[in-house]
Amino acid sequence: MNSLKTVLLLGGLSGLLLFLGGLVGGQKGMTIALVMAVGMNFFSYFFSEKMALSASGAIRVSPEENAHIWHRIAPMTERLCQRMGIPMPKLWVLPEASPNAFATGRNPSHSSVAVSAGLLDVMDDREVEAVIAHELGHIKHRDILISSVAATIAAAITYVGQMMMFAGMGGHRHDDEEDSGSGGLIGGLLMMILAPMAAMLIQMAISRTREFSADAAAAKYTGSPDGLINALSKLNMWSQRIPMEASPAMSHMYIFPVGTGQWMQRLFSTHPATEQRIAKLQSYRGLSPAQIPVN
């Protein structure tokens, strides 16, 4: 169900982009919009991992670097990867006191998982394992690519919306269009505002859908939903005590959202409400791992 919902939402986002491109420049505008979206997706596909790790200040974890962290998280990560049937990702630590984590990379063979120092401090091994399983779920489902595609299409829609405004404000009008000039300007302004807003809402709906799937993966591959339930409860508590300073553009990547207040999370959130996520995980209690739906 989540996969179908994601496909439909991505289709709606792409359709909105092509529709706006058609309004701006007809068939030629649709072609330009499509080429622009493909180009942005191509760039995002190959460079999003490096950009995310650089922006977050992530530090590499390996047997030679930060070995004490490696010996704690590498064995559980390797076990989870074997269960999920994916390669071992590169591991990183974020120099942040606030607990959080994210995954990035264009595919399972080129991926990274980063956890904050604060997360390792406040969580026990079972909870850390559940957080890592959640991030590996994103990698297994290629959610990083899906999110990158959604973000770049949304950005293209915003750009086309701005083009519509300039087209409505400037240029020449034929005499028989004089009477409708102000209407065209108003329509252009409305599209400039509404189209990016619609794109943002669809993008965030995609993100929320993928979070539920990653939560289910954590419950399935750790064998119980309880580890992630406890981890989410701690994330909710500690994020208020020690807010994380991170780019809002990266908020959708983290297991717990950053950069917005509680009421903003409700209205325009990249993540489902924490209580919704916990309630969904609680519904998996009593199910065997094979019965937990992951898609």
Helix axis angle, 67-84 to 125-140, nearest 10° = 50
Q: What would the two tokens of residue 154 be? A: 């949304």
Helix axis angle, 181-222 to 67-84, nearest 10° = 90
The answer to whether the CB of 199 falls within 8 A of the CB of 92 is no
Distant-in-sequence, close-in-space partners of 103: CB < 8 Å, separation ≥ 6: 89, 111, 112, 113, 114, 135, 136, 138, 139, 143, 144, 253
Distant-in-sequence, close-in-space partners of 134: CB < 8 Å, separation ≥ 6: 101, 214, 215, 217, 218, 228, 255
Q: What would the two tokens of residue 247 be? A: 């780019």
Please give the positions annotated as active site. Answer: 135
The answer to whether the CB of 136 falls within 8 A of the CB of 113 is yes
DSSP H helical segments within the chain, as ranges? Answer: 2-56, 67-84, 117-122, 125-140, 143-169, 181-222, 226-241, 262-267, 274-282
CA 162, 164, 167, 169 torsion-angle sign: negative
User: End-to-end CA distance of the chain, in Å?
Assistant: 7
Q: Which of 58, 131, 70, 71 is nearest to 99 (CA)?
A: 131
φ, ψ dihedrals at 94, nearest 5° = -95, 130
